[in-house]
C-alpha cells in the first residue's frame, strides 16, 4: 500500500530501493498476511504488544519496534482490534510525520473513520479500507480478491487504488464508510452469525452431504478461526448490524411459526393417526 515519495517513478516500478517505509500496527492474522504480500514493495517495521510475535516477525523479515517508531513511517497500516483502535490512533497522531498515509483495515468503517478524522492531524492522508478476505481465503494468493476503499482525508487514495489494482491485482470497490457498513451488516453479519449457530449444532455431517451443504461448510471454515474480536466488531461495532440481525431472527421465527402451524394442520397429526 503506497505512500511516501515515489521520486517520479511509475507505480509498476515500485521497489524497496525507494526506501518507502511501511509501519504495521498489529501483527495478528491480517497484519502477518499484509507483511507477507507487501514485503517486496516496502521496508516494513511493525508494532505489536504481544510477546508471542517475535518469532513470526523474524520469519516474515519484519523489524519489531515501538509504536512511536512505527508511527513515523511513510505509510501506517492499522491492523489493531477495535477495542484498542482509538488509543492506537491517538498515539499515532502525536508521532506521525506530515505527508504520511494512514490506512486502517478493520471490518467496520463508520466508527474508525470518525476516530481517524477526529484524532489525526490535517497534514496526513487517511484511507479507511476493508480487505474482504483473510488468511483462509488467501491461501492460494490474493489476486482477484476484493477490497473496499473509503477515502477520508487527502487525495492519495487514487494512488493507493492504482497500486492495489495494478500491482497487487485486487478488485477495488471505492465506497463510503456508511455504504460499506450497511452492506457489511448483511454480508459479514449474517455469514458470521449463521456460522456461529451451525458450529454450536456440530459436529456437522461430512459423509452424506450435498454440494450446497459442502459450500455452506466451506463458508463456515473460512470464518470459524477468526479472532473473537472480529465477530465482536462485525456484530457490535457496525451501527447497522443490530437491525439486520433482528430482522433475520424475526424472519426465522416467523418461518418457524409457519412450519409449526402447517404441522398442526397436517392430517397425519390428527387424533387417532
What pLDDT digit, counting tens, does each position of 155-199 carry?
Answer: 999 999 999 999 999 999 999 999 999 999 999 999 999 999 999
Is residue 107 within 8 Å of residue 234, measured between CB atoms?
yes
Rounded average pLDDT over 44-59: 92
Dihedral of alpha carbons 105, 107, 108, 112, sign: negative
Rounded average pLDDT over 145-160: 97
Res 271: pLDDT: 53
Q: How confident is the model at residue 227 (pLDDT cuts 50, 70, 90)?
A: confident
Q: What is the mean pLDDT of the chain?
A: 89
Q: pLDDT tens digits, residue range 63-87?
A: 999 999 999 999 999 999 888 999 9
Q: How confident is the model at residue 9 (pLDDT cuts 50, 70, 90)?
A: very low
C-alpha cell at 123: 497534514
Q: Which residue has the higher pLDDT, 175 or 231?
A: 175
Res 18: pLDDT: 55
Q: How confident is the model at residue 144 (pLDDT cuts 50, 70, 90)?
A: very high
Res 17: pLDDT: 40
User: Which own/partner contact pairs does 31-40 have at CB distance under 8 Å and 24+ positions apart?
Assistant: 31/77, 31/79, 32/56, 32/60, 32/135, 33/134, 33/135, 33/138, 34/1, 34/77, 34/79, 34/105, 35/60, 35/62, 36/60, 37/142, 37/168, 38/1, 40/15, 40/16
Percentage of the chain modeled with pLDDT above 90: 75
The Cα–Cα gap between 92 and 272 comes to 74
Q: Is the pLDDT of residue 7 over 60?
A: no
Least-confidence region, from 53-67, 116-130, 258-272: 258-272
Q: Is the pTM of this model over 0.85?
A: no
Q: Which residue has the higher pLDDT, 242 or 15?
A: 242
Q: How confident is the model at residue 266 (pLDDT cuts 50, 70, 90)?
A: confident
Phi, psi of 23, rounded to the nearest 5 degrees: -110, 120
Amino acid at each position: 500500500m503506497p505512500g511516501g515519495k515515489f521520486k517520479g517513478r511509475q507505480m509498476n516500478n515500485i521497489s524497496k530501493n525507494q526506501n518507502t517505509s511501511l509501519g504495521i500496527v498489529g501483527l495478528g492474522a491480517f497484519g502477518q498476511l499484509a507483511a507477507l504480500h507487501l514485503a517486496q514493495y516496502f521496508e516494513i517495521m511493525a508494532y505489536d504488544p504481544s510477546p508471542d510475535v517475535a518469532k513470526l516477525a523474524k520469519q516474515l523479515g519484519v523489524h519489531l519496534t515501538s509504536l512511536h517508531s512505527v508511527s513515523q513511517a511513510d505509510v501506517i497500516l492499522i491492523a489493531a482490534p477495535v477495542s484498542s483502535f482509538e488509543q492506537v490512533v491517538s498515539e499515532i497522531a502525536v508521532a506521525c510525520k506530515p505527508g504520511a498515509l494512514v490506512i486502517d483495515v478493520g471490518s467496520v468503517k463508520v466508527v474508525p473513520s470518525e476516530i481517524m478524522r477526529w484524532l489525526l492531524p490535517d497534514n496526513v492522508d487517511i484511507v479507511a479500507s476493508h480487505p474482504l478476505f483473510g488468511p483462509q481465503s488467501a491461501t492460494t494468493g490474493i489476486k482477484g480478491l476484493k477490497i473496499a476503499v473509503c477515502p477520508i482525508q487527502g487525495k492519495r487514495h487514487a494512488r493507493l487504488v492504482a497500486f492495489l489494482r495494478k500491482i497487487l491485482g485486487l478488485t477495488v470497490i471505492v465506497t463510503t464508510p456508511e455504504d460499506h457498513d450497511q452492506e457489511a451488516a448483511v454480508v459479514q453479519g449474517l455469514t458470521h452469525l449463521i456460522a456461529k449457530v451451525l458450529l454450536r449444532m456440530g459436529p456437522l455431517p461430512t459423509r452424506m452431504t450435498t454440494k450446497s451443504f459442502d459450500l455452506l461448510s466451506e463458508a463456515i471454515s473460512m470464518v470459524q478461526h477468526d479472532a473473537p474480536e472480529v465477530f465482536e466488531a462485525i456484530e457490535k461495532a457496525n451501527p447497522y448490524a443490530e437491525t439486520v440481525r433482528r430482522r433475520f431472527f424475526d424472519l426465522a421465527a416467523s418461518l418457524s411459526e409457519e412450519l409449526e402451524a402447517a404441522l398442526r394442520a397436517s392430517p397425519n397429526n390428527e387424533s387417532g393417526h
